[in-house]
Amino acid sequence: MPFDTLANELGALTTLSPQQALALGVFVSYFGLIGWLFSKVLASIQGLASRALQTVSKAKGPSRKAKDGSRRGGVSVQVFAALTLASFAHTWFYMFKYMAGSFQAYELSLSVNASSPFAVRLTSWLRDTSLFEEAWYAVCEGRLNWLWSEQLCLFTAGVWTVMLWVEGTRHGIQHVWAYMVLGQVVAISVASNLFYLAILSAPRTAPSSSAPTSSSSTTSPRKPSRTTATSQTEQSKSEDDIRVPPAVYVPVLLSLATVAASPHTSPKTFLLNLLVMHALLIVPLLPRFTLAFPLPGSPQSSWSISLPSLYYTIFLLSIPIRYRTLFAASDVHPPRPLWAPEPLYGGVLGWFERQWLVLFESPAQSSIGWDVVWTSVSFVVWVLVTGGSVRTADERIGADGKQGNEEEKEGVWTRVWKVGYLVFVTPLASVGVTGAYVLRPRGRVEESDNGEGVKEE
């Protein structure tokens, strides 16, 4: 019987209309794209891990601190691997629930004969339903819905795009654009956790000894020019000195403008604005822009701005965007569930209660809402583990293990402050706002040529 059913379904595929076949092809291609992007990202991480292993095997007599750091790095990798799996399972549980609900509602509305071949019913649903467009409408149309979705848009358009460019260039991460596209088609929380894994998997090179070895340990054989330029910038410059070219900051700022414009779009312009937002964020991550940081005096440095200036700009632009959304949603009351016909809390707690109710308004809303939660939690964990940058967490201890405990204590207290700030402010301001403030470079401790710690203001 199962064989007969399979034969009937395969036979039904030959009877599909061109529109049904096209709809099925788009649907299958979507999941094919997801699988291909996962393969690119995982291959990128595997390549970084292999290079790191080669670097460690070539090192002579690693210090005790280096071994301890390696063990801590292994624990961090396990943490972010777990966060990747958890966020993927949670967000896509609701995504599949949304698809199943849409399919059932479609068949009920048309009284479809359940005895018809499933392939015909499925392709008819795909043909007559704008599945993903409807999902985006559902999570952006209402003011409380947009209160959730805007958090993800602000983080992706601002902080995360810049972070992908900076850390991808610094650590020689291949296919940085694939992380962005994966986040757009799967979940930002999944892609961001995979990117954290990529950074943690990258080879560690002490500032005092990395220059001679970078060409052999951190460069892809396919792109030998990447190492020379990158090593010059990442080893001789602090984050405060990184220059961001227009090819990076212009798309970021334009994408933030599309986020601000989203609540004012019409049904005719909503999808176009959304597509422009997504397309702009891929531009800064194309291979030609992630080969190296612009060197002083080079054509790429023309019209460039400093990394701190860009983070501050993102932070200052995101505040009024977020405030406007918070103000617009302050007096919105979603439908009450049967188990709680009256508000349980008032004031600020009542406001958070309304957000909680909206989170479960529909499977589509739950998917993107929990994506926001997982993205925020993962970012807090990232800052807790690394301080926001692997270089400040691991590479400030030289190959000789020096630089002292005072510097470590300073890093710990700074990290505690950052985490506390994120935990208390992010639920209201969003990770798109707080992330830009936390990641801004602000006078990190750098190692001078003679090996002494020099604190920059």
Q: Which of 395, 447, 388, 408 has its CA nearest to residue 66?
A: 395
In a domain, 293, yes or no: yes
Q: How far is residue 20 CA from its own chain's centroid?
A: 34
| Residue 337 clears pLDDT 80, i.e. is over it | no
Residue 260 lies in a domain: yes
Q: Which residue reads 């190296």 in tokens?
A: 292
- Residue 170: CB partners within 8 Å, gap ≥ 6? 230, 234, 293, 391
Tell me, yes or no, whether 342 lies in a domain: yes
Is there a domain that residue 61 lies in? no
**Residue 390 reports pLDDT greater than 80:** no
**In terms of C-beta distances under 8 Å and separation of at least 24 residues, what long-range contacts does 211-220 make, across chains too?**
211/235, 213/55, 213/58, 217/51, 217/54, 217/55, 217/58, 218/51, 218/55, 218/171, 218/172, 219/172, 220/47, 220/172, 220/174
Tell me, yes or no, whether 354 lies in a domain: yes
- Strand runs (DSSP E) across 278-378, as ranges? 305-306
Residue 276 lies in a domain: yes
Is the pLDDT score of 440 beyond 90? Answer: no
437: confidence class by pLDDT, cuts 50, 70, 90: very high
* Number of separate domains in the chain: 1
Q: Per the domain annotation, does 450 fall within a domain?
A: yes
pLDDT at 231 over 50: no
Note the pLDDT tens digit of each residue in 278-302.
999 999 998 877 666 766 556 666 7
Q: What's residue 300's pLDDT?
A: 60
- Tell me which of 146 and 5 has the higher pLDDT: 146
**How many residues does the structure list for the chain?**
457
Average pLDDT, the chain: 80
Whether 60 is covered by a domain: the verdict is no
The rounded radius of gyration (Å) of the Cα atoms in the chain is 24
Domain that holds residue 317: 2-54+66-455
Average pLDDT in the 109-124 region? Answer: 79
**Across 271-372, where does the E strand assignment appear?**
305-306
